[in-house]
Structure 1
Amino acid sequence: MSANDLPDPAELHVVNIKSGIVAGLIARADELGVACEGWFTGLRLQRAQFEADPPVYLSYRQACEIVRRALRSLPGQAHGLVIGQRQDVGHFGLLGLAMLTAEDFGEALRIGIHYAPITGAMMELQLEPCRGGDGRDCVAVSARMRTREAEIEPFLCEELFASCLMLCRGLLGPGFSPLAAELAYPAPAHAADYARVFGCAVDFDAGCNRVVIERRWLQVAMPAHNPASAAHVLALCREQMPSERPVNEIVGAVERLLLLQLADAPRLIDIAAELHLTERTLRRHLCDAGTSYKAIHDRVRREAAEALLRRPDARIAEVGAAVGFRDAREFRRAFKRWTGMAPREMRQRAN
């Protein structure tokens, strides 16, 4: 990775990574009897947030630091392979369903790579044509680190490629295996586990991270293909892609806390206390990020209200109470100010 390939440092603080990998590490820590609360110290995050709904989003910097701390505290090795092997089509949620309803495996693979961000992938994926060692026509799924992270790169590759392999076997059957795997880092002590999991030759110190697949697999039809279902699920995948509106870590922390207690209409001073900041310091941080507490609070309430109003059984007063309004009339006025329409009109359009 050259200096020109490195991202803008500000991008590493943008909150746009879903917390699936961290949730997997927490489950692994519980399994091994390891306390993991310390992984989140100083990151404006708490373990409990990873067990709540909706899912937590992290910045790349936060995610890397949590993974680094986790690997230093967990005994043994091969944690990425263990976590990755536990995935199946269902674990990939909407993306798994979108791939399942694609026309063929080639289309499913392209969908999986394009929409990988909605699963929390920390590496950048690309599909490219290549030749196998024996000259066979192949494609390669390559994975690229955003930054130089030698300590955690093996774990991220293990988790990514093992989970992708489980997904592909869920789509194509247990007989699927890649032709070869190439990894940029030196062979770890548990290198033999790679060949067992991947079912193919694994080449370390290869200069890149990629899995090579014979092109013939791309023509295999998906048995659950349904054009109408596929179009609907892809639309939902597009909605879940990381927002083009950049959210930095402090804004993300405020949003997470608001979502957990939206019905209580928390004040700026309440959120500041939970972040161990003074009200003045939090206000300054938000100003530096180009926003304010009121703007964030209003946006989070609006988005939550819109989501609730899409439900066929939504009651206006209950939606208002859920987003922190004790008076339904006050909620109707605020919603009209936010969206230009009344809550009832939004509900009718959605249903």
Structure 2
Amino acid sequence: MKSVAGIHNPADDPRYTAVEIPPNVLLGLTLLADRDGVDCTPWFAGLPLDRSQIADPDARISYRQAAIVLRRALLAVGDPALGMRAGRDGNLGSFGLLGLAMMTSATFGDAMRVGIENHKVCGSLLDIGFDMPGPREAALVAWPRFGEHALLPFLCEELFASCLAVARELVGPALRPLRLELTYPRPAYVRQYMDFFQCELRFGAPANQIVMDARWLEVPLPGYNARTRQQALAICTRELPQGSSSDEVVMAVEQLLRSRLREHPRLPEVARSLNMSERSLRRRLAEGGRVFRDIHDQLRAERAMELLYAGHLSVAEVGAEIGFADPREFRRAFKRWTGMPPRDARRAA
């Protein structure tokens, strides 16, 4: 995604350069490169890490470093479906101790919750949540971080394919999602999606999510062991990034706003939802160097760019998706955020 002028720059966010992400995704790509006979050494040029370091279980990288390596990998391998290939290789073993905690959970729903709550242990480069989009439907939802939409197809393919591979390992190959929804346009290699996911595909959708029948959540797991599960979870909890309390509040605000952009929630509503006073919320955000309006505008601009890039909604419909009832107000706000009108942004995407 091209840089968005006039709003919060990801490089100004300390989480963008925080060295706290396990390099699991990058490690998987280097193994793919080995199989393809591709030299991955140049992927790390100019970065304070190399191929041998990311194989260290204690290694951590920043989101900025991961994004640089991913862009170089996609260019070097030359396979637009690289994310599908990386994701299909996923299994409980590649999830490490989190895979053990999921495998020894009582039900598939319990395992899914454990995975979502601890996804950062596996080096996820997307933010992940749970939703119930319809009656008797359960969904794993993903949001891009820092407006990184150029890498979104790879990241979604890697995430959803690996999660489905693990889910089938837990409950059996009969698991078929109801549908896979993605905000980006249909890729030329869509046949690979159809063969692996075996469900309805919706591109240019309002959200990135894989939806299944909620009855799967109740399926008991044969490997259930309460003691082993607790032991694995305790270690996972210790390995989670230990951000400041202000960072946690920023993340909570972002997650709440992302899920309710259409409703255009105001600061008082958000504070109530987080069981905080308005004053406390403003103070905690300030501790993280953030302002509520800037966060809201940043998320709305990123979401608008994501939907404009997908190209399936009109400008007015994109505005409605992020809380603007009047298309003219959306156009003015978007130009204030980015320095260009929505139609120009769509052509430039």
TM-score of the superposition, structure 2-length normalised?
0.66
Is 118-127 or 224-233 further displaced after alignment?
224-233
Deviates more, 1:164-173 or 1:140-149: 140-149
Corresponding residue for 1:187? 186
Offset of residue 8 of structure 1: 5.2
Q: 2:18 aligns with which of 14, 17, 20?
A: 14
1:58 partner SS: coil
Residue of structure 2 in register with 1:40 after alignment: 44
Out of 126, 139, 142, the residue aligned to residue 123 of structure 1 is 126
TM-fit CA distance, 1:91 = 1.4
Partner of 1:143: 142
Amino acid at match of 1:42: G
Task: Read off the aligned partner of 2:100 and give its amino acid letter.
Answer: L
Of 186-195 and 119-128, deviating more is 186-195
The percentage of counterpart residues that share the same residue type is 39
What amino acid sits opposite 2:78 in the alignment? Answer: P
Give the SS at the match of 1:186.
Answer: coil
Please report how far the alpha carbon of residue 76 of structure 1 lies from its aligned counterpart in structure 2 after TM superposition: 2.4
Counterpart residue number, 1:197: 196
> How far did 1:96 drift?
0.9
- The answer (yes or no) to whether the contact 2:10–2:16 under 8 Å persists in 1 is no
Q: CA deviation at 1:108?
A: 0.8
Distance in 1 separating the partners of 2:50 and 2:244: 24
Shift of 1:6: 6.5
Aligned to 1:163: 162
Unaligned runs of 5+ in 1: 247-351
* 2:91–2:169 Cα contact (<8 Å) kept: yes
User: Does the 8 Å contact 2:182/2:205 carry over to 1?
Assistant: yes
CA shift digits 1:250-306 (9 cap, x unpaired): xxxxxxxxxxxxxxxxxxxxxxxxxxxxxxxxxxxxxxxxxxxxxxxxxxxxxxxxx
Give the aligned CA root-mean-square deviation in angstroms. 2.1
Letter in 2 for 1:87: G
Q: How does 1:96-107 map to 2 (within 5 A)?
A: 96-107=99-110
> What is the aligned residue count?
241
Instruction: Say whether residues 1:31 and 2:35 are aligned partners.
Output: yes
Give the superposition deviation at 1:17.
0.9
User: Where does structure 2 lack aligned partners over 5 or more consecutive residues?
Assistant: 246-349
Q: Return closer, same or farther for 1:168/1:40 CA change in 2, 3 Å cut-off.
A: same
Secondary structure (helix, strand or coil) at the match of 2:95 reads: helix
Letter in 2 for 1:210: Q
Are residues 1:229 and 2:228 paired?
Answer: yes
Equivalent residue for 1:84, pick from 67, 87, 92: 87
Residues 19-74 of structure 1, C-alpha deviations (whole Å, 9 max, x = no match):
111011111222222221111112211122123x3342110111011101110111
Amino acid of the residue matched to residue 52 of structure 2? A
Partner of 1:304: none
1:159 alignment partner, SS class: helix
Q: Conserved in 1, the CA contact under 8 Å of 2:44 and 2:50? A: yes
8 A contact 1:178–1:198 mirrored in 2: yes
Q: Is the 2:11–2:17 contact (alpha carbons within 8 Å) kept by the matching residues of 1?
A: no
Offset of residue 86 of structure 1: 1.1
In the aligned structure 2, how far is the partner of 1:139 from the partner of 1:7?
34
Q: For 1:232, what is the secondary structure of its paired residue?
A: helix
Q: Which runs of 4+ in 1 moved over 3 A?
A: 1-8
Q: Which residue in the other structure is 2:176 paired with?
A: 177
Q: In structure 2, do the counterparts of structure 1 residues 55 and 190 end up closer, same or farther at CA, with 3 Å as the change threshold?
A: farther
Distance in 1 between residues matched to 2:223 and 2:11, nearest whole Å:
39
3-state SS of paired residue (2:98)? helix
1:245 shift after superposition: 6.6
C-alpha displacement at 1:130, in angstroms?
1.4
Tell me if 1:68 matches 2:67. Answer: no
Given the alignment of the two structures, is residue 94 of structure 1 paired with residue 97 of structure 2, yes or no? yes
Distance, in Å, in 2 between the alignment partners of 1:178 and 1:7 is 37
Distance in structure 1 (CA, Å) of the matches to 2:201 and 2:172: 21
Residue pairs, 1:292-311, within 5 angstroms: none
> Secondary structure of the residue that 1:17 maps to in structure 2?
coil
- Aligned partner letter, 2:222: P
Query: Structure 1 residues 76, 7: closer, same or farther in 2, change over 3 A?
Result: closer
* Distance of aligned partners of 1:218 and 1:78 in 2 relative to their CA distance in 1, 3 Å threshold: same
Q: CA deviation at 1:75?
A: 2.3
TM-score after normalising by structure 1: 0.65
